[in-house]
Structure 1
């Protein structure tokens, strides 16, 4: 249910490299949530770093929404860069797993797999 890779890069470098890989893969970064800083700013003792990148390919999103508008709640795709016990990791929930659980429309699976392949290539490039 998860695709996670470990990186030898520092957190900041892996984050920057992911942003470059997303753009090179034909997607855009819509927003980056810095969960680590947000939690710490609210007084929670969160010791790890964690950024969630919301990424989107408008053409693919349009296809998905054209088949099942309810899936707007599962978009955009998210890729996380985070640390776990000092190790940098990059991961995502594969779109095919996510969409299969949310819709039974068989036309969605090829789209989800295509997006998934692209996202995994981005994660691997940022690794």
Structure 2
């Protein structure tokens, strides 16, 4: 599967707050917290469900990945989404290991798997 997704009974806002705190513990910063529903509504488009896109980055990991292979930058920063669907809040991300397979670099894949496991840990703690 190209993604990892968990469900929580928290609201989208509560899940985002919990996720941000857990990411910080793993030295990931949230570069951008994009409110997709708000932006679509602002543009006059109807979209009912809360949907957030968080761009997250660990600067040391980003530097390490880019020093190994600049093409890995195509996948940076990592994205984590938090959204409401059918009265259930979901937290999900495309797996870095799935994305970086396209670079065809075993060292990048190993780095991506490490980052992925840390992001999954943050998501699981946010449930």
What is the Cα-based RMSD across aligned positions, in Å? 0.9
Q: After superposition, give the CA deviation of every residue in 1:78-119 in whole Å (9 maximum; x if it has no partner).
A: 111101122100000110001002x01111111001000000
Deviation at 1:2, TM superposition (A): 1.1
List, as ranges, runs of 4+ consecutive aligned residues in structure 1 with deviation greater than 4 Å: none
Secondary structure of 1:26's counterpart equals coil
Q: How far apart, in 2, do the equivalents of 1:113 and 1:61 lie?
A: 14
Listed as ranges, the gaps of 5+ residues in structure 1 are none
How many equivalent pairs are there?
126
Match of 2:106 in 1: 106
Match of 1:8 in 2: 9
Q: How far apart, in 1, do the equivalents of 2:11 and 2:58 lie?
A: 27
Deviation at 1:71, TM superposition (A): 2.2
Listed as ranges, the gaps of 5+ residues in structure 2 are none
Q: TM-score, normalising length from structure 1?
A: 0.95
Q: TM-score, normalising length from structure 2?
A: 0.95
